[in-house]
Amino acid sequence: MTAFAPDRPLRAAVIGSGPSGIYAADALLKQVQVPVEVDVFDRLPTPYGLVRYGVAPDHLKIKSVTALFQKVLSDARVRFLGNVELGKDLSADDLQAHYDAVIYTVGASSDRRLNVPGEDLGGSLSATEFVAWYNGHPDAAAREMLLHASGVAVVGAGNVALDVARILAKTAGELHDSDIAPHALAALEHSKVEDVYLLSRRGPLQAKFTTKELREFGELAGADVVVLPGEIAVSDEDYAAISDNVVKRNVDVLREFAAKVPQGQPRRVHLRFLVSPVELIGDAGGQVSGIRIEKNRLDEQGNAVGTGEFEVLPVQMVLRSVGYKGVALSGVPFDDKRGVIPNTRGRIEHRSGEYTAGWIKRGPSGVIGTNKADAAETVAALLEDAPNLTPAPQASRAAVDALLAARQVDVVSLEDYLRLDAHELSSGQAAGRPRLKVAHRGAMFDVIRGGR
């Protein structure tokens, strides 16, 4: 028999308000087995995780999912508690004391490295940092992004690499119609970029990007797309054997690109395949001045193998986009190798009442919608366990509020965030842009607290 009733609902904490956190809260609301109350925490003053800070600023339609997310957070059984960081403002033990169940949905905020010499030279950074900067993430708002480079290499063969390459190749006019952060727009307006090289280790059959994103390179206002036919060669036999429609369409689009005559645009995006970075070359000032790449062939298993043939590309900036990685939370089990919280169908191993969903559960792959089924699986496990969960000793909103107040945490509610949201939209409208993102924490609080 479940211990939970309408006058003592199951109190769940969701740590992280990205897609997986919101979908987990939604799944808890939609079930009828157990009465629930859900507190959704985020370390940032804003909800929605990578929908706000990852999804490319020129892909506004994708962000419309936030209307649905807002509905979930507006439910009377749910609270949003922004600007509360697990590990700083709250510990895993605090959560145990105040919640009957906890779902960790903190995403994967770190990135994988290339592990080649020169990786730490000036001008070499992760796509994660660059994306955070152009999307106005408060942790990256103060960063000075040097955009003196005329050549930029983007290492990776997924949609994030395509996003970054596209943003670098777009004209100021194109970017104006996006919700790119004002500081990034100002910097990119003066960008000297002429050549962007997207470097894929393997061939087009192994690339992870989607056709829609790839096609956008053929529609850029101020950039030609350049593809070397030899690097995308696929035999008639291999082409006929492609079973994945996305891969087939990608090959078709790449063949179209390879056949295009360059229009003499001021910028070029070179989509390179079967090449691996082996060294970042530095100048006397410790800045990147080139990237040495090795041409690859594929072995029988489809793995890239170096051919011993090298080339140096003249780039002054290198952005690596070779995968995200989860970061351990204090007091929560962690699989360092895989960068995830070890779990079985969302149940954290050897723990009672603790669950996980999203990128920190399964690793950094999948689109926003993938997190819906993933979170539903986790919530199903939680509901299965509900009759046997130990009720938390201090399970009330008031107890959580008192704890956070005692620690002087300036909690941001949904209403507070909506004030910021309205401000960003109206200032955007005044500037003829979809939204003017406020990036600095201080400025966010000025809007939220009305200039306090």
Ligand X SMILES: Cc1cc2nc3c(=O)[nH]c(=O)nc-3n(C[C@H](O)[C@H](O)[C@H](O)COP(=O)(O)OP(=O)(O)OC[C@H]3O[C@@H](n4cnc5c(N)ncnc54)[C@H](O)[C@@H]3O)c2cc1C
Determine the Cα angle at 170 with ends 168 and 172, to 5°.
110
Which of 363, 319, 316 minimizes the C-alpha distance to 343?
363
Among 13, 36, 157, 368, binds ligand X (CB under 6 A): 368
Compute the least distance from the CB of residue 281 to ligand X, in Å. 27
Q: How far is the CB of 306 from ligand X (least distance, A)?
A: 29
340 binds ligand X (CB under 6 A): no
The neighbouring-strand residues paired with 155 are 199, 320
Q: DSSP for 151-187? A: EEEEE-SSHHHHHHHHHHHS-HHHHHTS---HHHHHH
Strands 151-155 and 347-348: unpaired
Shorter beta-carbon distance to ligand X: residue 85 or 177: 85
Query: By rule CB under 6 A, what string of x and - marks binding of each residue 60-99 to ligand X?
Result: --x----------------------xxx------------
CB of 331 to ligand X, least distance (A): 11
- Shortest Cβ distance from residue 440 to ligand X (Å)? 16
Using DSSP's 3-state secondary structure scheme, residue 45 falls into coil
366: left (phi over 0), alpha (psi -120 to 50) or beta: left
Residue with the closest Cβ to ligand X?
Answer: 18
- CA–CA distance, 130 with 176 (Å, rounded to integer): 18
Q: Is 313 in the site for ligand X (CB under 6 A)?
A: no
CB 448 within 8 A of CB 410: no
Residue 430 phi/psi, 5° resolution?
-65, -30
Nearer to ligand X by Cβ, of 35 and 366: the residue is: 366
Cβ of residue 10: shortest distance to ligand X, in angstroms? 21
Write the binding mask 432 to 451 for ligand X: x where contact by CB under 6 A, - elsewhere.
Answer: --------------------
Alpha helices by DSSP H, 273-392: 359-362, 370-385
Which is closer to ligand X, CB of 49 or CB of 277?
A: 49
Size of the site for ligand X (CB under 6 A): 35
Nearer to ligand X by Cβ, of 153 and 375: the residue is 375
Least distance to ligand X from the beta carbon of 13, Å? 10
Q: Which of residues 173-232 bind ligand X (CB under 6 A)?
A: none
CB of 51 or CB of 389, closer to ligand X: 51
**d(C-alpha 259, C-alpha 249), whole Å:** 15
Contact letters (x/-) for ligand X, 44-63, by CB under 6 A?
Answer: x----xx---xx---x--x-
Question: Does 158 contact ligand X by CB under 6 A?
Answer: no
User: According to CB under 6 A, which one of 20, 96, 126, 276 is a site residue for ligand X?
Assistant: 20
For 73-93, b/e burial (b = at least 16 CB within 10 A) is beeeebbbbbbbebbebbebe
Q: Which two tokens stand for residue 53?
A: 């800070």
Which residue in the block uniquely carries the two structure tokens 């003053």? 45
Binding site for ligand X (CB under 6 A): 15-21, 41-44, 49-50, 54-55, 59, 62, 85-87, 105-107, 131, 160, 163, 324, 329, 358-359, 366-368, 370-371
